[in-house]
Structure 1
Amino acid sequence: MNDLTSIVNAVSRVTILLLSALLLGWAFSPDYRPILSGLIMGMAAGLFNVRFLSIKVRQLAQLAVSQDNRRYSFGFITRLCTGFLIVVIAAKLEQVSLGATIAGLFIPQLLTIPVSIIFGLRNNH
C-alpha cells in the first residue's frame, strides 16, 4: 500500500502544479477564462475523486486483512455525485466552459497511468 500512497501523492502534486499553472493562465489571459475556469473546477473535483478512491482502496485492503465478512463499497455513488455536482455548477454558470469541466474531471485519473509507470520503472532498477 505504500506504493499506492506514493502514487496518489505524486498525482496530487502534479495536479496541484497544473492547477496553479491554470490559475496563472486564468489571471493573465482573459480571453481563455471560461475554458481555464472549467479545467480548474473539473481538475479539483477529479483530484478529490482520486484521493477518495485511494482511501476506499486502503480501507478495502484493511478489510481483506482482517478477514471480516461484511459488504464493502468503493464509494462509486459519492464520486459520481461529485462529478455530477461540478458539471451542474458549470452548466449553470455561463462564464465556465462545460466541456472543459468534463475534460478536467478525467485529467487526475489519467495522470495516474504515467505516474504509475514511472514508479514501476523506478522500483525495477
Structure 2
Amino acid sequence: MDEIVRRAVRSALFLVAACLVVRFMVPDGKTIAAGIILGVMASLMNALLLRRRINLIDQALQQERPKRVSIGLGARLATVLIVVMIAVKFPEQFNLPSTLISSFYVQLVVFAIAFVQSLRDSSGKG
C-alpha cells in the first residue's frame, strides 16, 4: 500500500510541477493551471490524511482492547470544501471546474496504479 501511495504522490508532484510551468508560460491557461495545482494539493492532503487514519485504525485493532476510531471522512470533506470555497472566492485566480476535477486526482491515480499492479501480479487464473 505504501508503494502505491508513494507512486501516486510522485505523480501528483510531477503534475504540479508541469502546471507551474504552464502557469508561467501560457498566459491564457493561468487560472486553469492554478486551479489544478490547488485541487491536486487538496487531493494530496486527503490521501495523506487517509493513509494516517488507516495506520491509526490498524494500531487500534492490534491492541487488546481496541478503542473507537472513525474513518475521518469529515476532515477530508472539509479539505475539498475549503478548496472549493477558495476557488469560488477568487475566480480570477482559480478555475472552479479544474479545481473540482483535480481534487480527486490522487485517489484516481491510486486506483489506477493498484489496478495495474493487480493485473501484473495475478497469475492469470480466475
Is TM (by shorter chain) over 0.5?
Answer: yes
SS, match of residue 81 in structure 2: helix
Unmatched tracts of structure 2, length 5 or more: none
**Normalising by the residue count of structure 1, what TM-score does the alignment of the two structures yield?**
0.90
SS, match of residue 73 in structure 1: coil
Matched pairs, number: 122
Distance apart, 1:114 and its partner CA? 1.4
Partner of 1:57: 54
Mapping for residues 71-110 of structure 1, pairs under 5 Å: 71-93=68-90, 94-110=92-108
SS, match of residue 96 in structure 1: coil
Aligned-residue identity in percent: 30
Distance apart, 1:119 and its partner CA? 2.9
Partner of 1:33: 30
Distance apart, 1:117 and its partner CA? 2.1
Matched, 1:13 2:6: no
Task: Name whichever structure is richer in helix by fraction.
Answer: 1
- d(CA) in 2 for partners of 1:22 and 1:46? 15
Distance apart, 1:43 and its partner CA? 0.5
Distance apart, 1:68 and its partner CA? 2.5
Distance apart, 1:34 and its partner CA? 0.8
Distance apart, 1:122 and its partner CA? 4.6
Distance apart, 1:65 and its partner CA? 1.6
- d(CA) in 1 for partners of 2:65 and 2:81? 33
Summarize deviations over 1:26-80 as a string: whole Å, max 9, x none: 1100101111110110010011101110110111112112143321111111111
Unmatched tracts of structure 1, length 5 or more: none
- d(CA) in 2 for partners of 1:119 and 1:66? 31
**Normalising by the residue count of structure 2, what TM-score does the alignment of the two structures yield?**
0.89
- d(CA) in 1 for partners of 2:21 and 2:37? 11
Distance apart, 1:21 and its partner CA? 0.8
Matched, 1:116 2:114: yes
